[in-house]
Structure 1
Amino acid sequence: MRWPRRLWCRMFQKSMRLLLPLLPYRNPQILHHIQDIHQVKKNHPLIVTGSHTVQSEGMQELIQQYESVSIFDGVKANPTTDQIGQAYQMYQQEHCDHIIGFGGGSSLDCAKAVAAQIARPQKTIAQMAGVLKVRKKTPLLILIPTTAGTGSETTLAAVVTDSQTHHKYAINDFVLIPDVAILDPVLTLSLPPHLTASTGMDALTHAMEAYMGRSMTKQTRQEALTAIRLIYENILVAYRDGTNRRARKNMLQASYLAGDAFSKSYVGYVHAIAHSLGGQYNLPHGQTNATLLPIVLQAYGHTIDKKLHDIATEIGLADASMPDEKAAQKMIESIRQLDQAMDIPLTIPQIQKQDIPQMARYADQEANPLYPVPVLWDQNELEQIYEQAMDKKRNLDTIKEE
């Protein structure tokens, strides 16, 4: 990246960091059981969910808490503007008075985007993309995650995909921080291993990118480290024994902490690239993050050795006497080992070379100047990451060298 733009990006990021204590961040009210919803509920909710969760025991228990509900169960992976529009119409036509997002990150993000549309009916979803484009109070918003990964139940962001262009982008506004989050580990017990893996690695990516960035605070630093430690201690247990309630509870806590950390300290190029790939090829977000994370960390080079050493020490992979560079490589390799242990691919073969310039342009637009990444890349430099991610031989050679 050329220095004038580099200077602009760093000045913007420094300004955001200085403003951080003044920004209206808040945390949702936390409940731990669906039955507790009686403390906060209104009369008639729109429940936003997917077809695979609408028949679940947890959903039936939720429905029993109300005399009448409306259910939009059309959410797919990577929620689209069309799905948001359909759910919004249902909310209006059936005279709902609050919104419940129930399910994985796609359902929660869709619920948040519907809330944004209700607050700003004169704007399109695309017009609310970016930062602080909503700025009007939303209906009561209750989010109930059934996966432990996205952290959407505590963040100010909703990630959506344009149905026409397939461009994936985020709506970021403080009004989208949910009013209530219900963190019930029982709801995650039925999560199949591959989703346990991908959502857990999504949470790890949130925590890692929050810690790698240049906008950490004392609070977000500790939240990120705690989340990483909890994930390393519990993700393989949850993956291999889905009924282990302690592991499920710890993964849900890690997801929440990681979500809070990146809400304030932001993510980085892993997410920017993953969003473009998800929009283009409809790839699962968590799995894409998991594949990209070690590739991007390796590409950052020695600028992040000290921070990776801190993380490696936190999880017992290194100690203070180990050189930073060695600890950093052990940390990156441990992420690859986690991926392999859970059958997450180390490359993304769906990438088509002719699509890379457009996706890199989207990633550049998303990340710069907002994300306080440790190393600034422009579109041309980002294109190299896509090429690495699609190059199986190159990645295997890197692993062999380490």
Structure 2
Amino acid sequence: MEDYAVLRMPQTINYGRHAFEKVGEESATKGKKALIISDKVMDDLGNVSDCRNFLSKESVDSTVYLGVESEPTDIYVREALEIFKKEQCDIVISLGGGSCIDTAKAIAVLATNGGYIGDYMGSKKLADADPVPHIAIPTTGGTGSEATDATVITNTSKDVKMMIKQPTFMPAIAIVDPLLSLSSPQHVTAATGVDALSHAIESYISKQSHPMTDMFALSAMKFITGNIMSAYKDGENIDAREAMALGSLQAGIAFTNASVCLVHGMSRPIGALFHVPHGYSNAMLLPAVLEFSKEASINRLADLGRIFSLEASDYTNEDAANLAVSSVKELCLKLNIPNLRGWGIDKQDFDSAASKMSEDALASGSPANNPRIPTQMEIEELYHICYSYEFTTESHVR
């Protein structure tokens, strides 16, 4: 840890069952007309209509953009920003998964700072003007994006996921209502749950971690490991859903301040080139990357092992760290997380892209936070390992 540390999070967090109903009241303190960024699934479920009704009761007008269909792209950002300006909105509300939230973050910043969203990558352009107020409402227990100051937008002309991180991308308000996650299908619950776990783990083992992020990361790991299987097996288990929502929120706070590591660095190029949703690609990579990183993070991974099993309290740190890695593998197996081959990615195409992906992963900066910092060649080798990785007790990584 450096001499001092910073902890950033939304100005206000509304958390718990029926927190969604507060969106009108919160919006009324920020503006008069909202652009709701959501998707067709949320619209079909009636959540978009409910949101507009909550706003209307507080005399807040609204319009809607439902164009988010996959991982967020610069096309979605351009389309939604045009609506925002045309309709003279002064608030942005995201209602959905991480793709909706990340798109809304871009709109909130561009509406007052201008330019192309890619201009802000690597802080080449700084968002000096205050963003439009953004109220983030997640509907999955996984991304934690409602509590982060980063957005990941795909540059569609270059097939590159742009990871953009500046304080102005932080939502002003987060509304985390576990009731909204009851609609998540089983496979989404699995992928976003492991995504949230990867956020917690990576923020805990990150070279940028500090005591405040450790507090959130450890709590998140306990909530997630203790409840993910219950939420997966019974999507109507509101207690498990609530615990997952809280764990995801805490993991989001942890990783936006401590940063992520190698898993996320490798995950983004897979999403950009092969259109694998972010939660899945993180889950596919997590066990192998933990194997790769283990020797450089024995003590920290030992803490995770002892969270997975009370019996590990008497283990040596090395044995507890081994348990952490094997437990993550077992969890992915039970959640039916596929490897890249099982996802349907052609091996020849994947092998051909491995060099570019490893270059892009290293350039993102995230691998530099990993306890064991990889070379580009090691990242490329990890891609090849992960393509057909089996979630068994057998070790695949040296």
**TM norm structure 2:** 0.91
> Aligned pair 1:207/2:207, yes or no?
no
- 1:70 alignment partner, SS class: strand
Q: Could you say which residue in structure 2 is the equivalent of 1:4?
A: none
Q: How does 1:250-261 map to 2 (within 5 A)?
A: 250-261=243-254
Q: Could you say which residue in structure 1 is the equivalent of 2:21?
A: 35
Q: Could you say which residue in structure 2 is the equivalent of 1:103?
A: 96
Q: Distance in 1 between matches of 2:304 and 2:174?
A: 28
> Aligned pair 1:249/2:238, yes or no?
no
- 1:319 alignment partner, SS class: helix
Per-residue deviation, residues 160-193 of structure 1 (Å, max 9, x unmatched): 1011111002111111111111111111111110
Per-residue deviation, residues 286-332 of structure 1 (Å, max 9, x unmatched): 11111111100101241112111111113325434312222212111
Equivalenced residues, count? 381
Residues 1:353 and 1:147: Cα distance change in structure 2 (over 3 Å): same
Per-residue deviation, residues 98-126 of structure 1 (Å, max 9, x unmatched): 100100000000100111211221x2111
Q: Could you say which residue in structure 2 is the equivalent of 1:380?
A: 377
Does the Cα contact within 8 Å between 2:38 and 2:48 map onto a contact in 1? no
Residues 1:318 and 1:364: Cα distance change in structure 2 (over 3 Å): farther
Q: How does 1:239-388 map to 2 (within 5 A)?
A: 239-348=232-341, 350=345, 352-367=350-365, 371-388=368-385
Which residue of 383, 394, 397 maps to 1:398? 394
Paired AA for residue 370 in structure 2 = V
Paired AA for residue 398 in structure 1 = E
Q: Could you say which residue in structure 1 is the equivalent of 2:5?
A: 20
Offset, 1:264? 0.8
Residues 1:276 and 1:223: Cα distance change in structure 2 (over 3 Å): same
- 2:70 alignment partner, SS class: coil
Does the Cα contact within 8 Å between 1:336 and 1:346 map onto a contact in 2? no
Does the Cα contact within 8 Å between 2:208 and 2:369 map onto a contact in 1? yes
Q: Distance in 2 between matches of 1:399 and 1:346?
A: 15
Paired AA for residue 38 in structure 2 = T
Offset, 1:366? 0.4
- 1:138 alignment partner, SS class: coil
Q: Distance in 1 between matches of 2:396 and 2:272?
A: 32
Q: Could you say which residue in structure 1 is the equivalent of 2:386?
A: 389
Q: Could you say which residue in structure 2 is the equivalent of 1:47?
A: 36
**TM norm structure 1:** 0.90
Per-residue deviation, residues 325-344 of structure 1 (Å, max 9, x unmatched): 22212111111111111111
Offset, 1:392? 4.2
Q: Distance in 1 between matches of 2:121 and 2:43?
A: 29
Q: Could you say which residue in structure 2 is the equivalent of 1:129?
A: 121
Paired AA for residue 120 in structure 1 = N
Q: Distance in 2 between matches of 1:80 and 1:109?
A: 9
Q: Distance in 2 between matches of 1:164 and 1:38?
A: 38
Offset, 1:55? 2.4
Q: Distance in 2 between matches of 1:400 and 1:326?
A: 18
Offset, 1:35? 2.1
Does the Cα contact within 8 Å between 2:329 and 2:393 map onto a contact in 1? no
Residues 1:34 and 1:301: Cα distance change in structure 2 (over 3 Å): closer
Residues 1:348 and 1:256: Cα distance change in structure 2 (over 3 Å): farther
Give the stretch that moved more between structures: 232-241 or 133-142.
133-142
Does the Cα contact within 8 Å between 1:216 and 1:265 map onto a contact in 2? yes
Q: How does 1:123-202 map to 2 (within 5 A)?
A: 123-131=115-123, 133-202=126-195
Offset, 1:249? 0.7
Offset, 1:18? 4.1
Q: Distance in 1 between matches of 2:91 and 2:396?
A: 53
Q: Distance in 2 between matches of 1:92 and 1:292?
A: 40
- 2:195 alignment partner, SS class: helix
Which residue of 65, 70, 73 maps to 2:54? 65
Offset, 1:28? 3.2
Q: Distance in 1 between matches of 2:121 and 2:195?
A: 22
Offset, 1:266? 0.5
Which residue of 197, 212, 217 maps to 1:219? 212
Does the Cα contact within 8 Å between 1:44 and 1:69 map onto a contact in 2? yes
Q: Could you say which residue in structure 2 is the equivalent of 1:5?
A: none
Does the Cα contact within 8 Å between 2:10 and 2:170 map onto a contact in 1? yes
Does the Cα contact within 8 Å between 1:50 and 1:103 map onto a contact in 2? yes
Does the Cα contact within 8 Å between 1:305 and 1:325 map onto a contact in 2? yes
Paired AA for residue 135 in structure 2 = I
Q: How does 1:1-12 map to 2 (within 5 A)?
A: none
Offset, 1:347? 4.4
Paired AA for residue 381 in structure 1 = E
Does the Cα contact within 8 Å between 1:47 and 1:70 map onto a contact in 2? yes
Paired AA for residue 362 in structure 1 = D
Q: Distance in 1 between matches of 2:296 and 2:87?
A: 54
Offset, 1:399? 5.2
Per-residue deviation, residues 60-96 of structure 1 (Å, max 9, x unmatched): 2111023431111001221100110000000001111
Structure 1 runs (4+) deviating above 4 angstroms are none
Offset, 1:31? 1.9
Paired AA for residue 383 in structure 1 = E
Q: Distance in 2 between matches of 1:282 and 1:73?
A: 19
Unaligned runs of 5+ in 1: 1-13
- 1:69 alignment partner, SS class: strand
Does the Cα contact within 8 Å between 1:49 and 1:102 map onto a contact in 2? yes
Unaligned runs of 5+ in 2: none
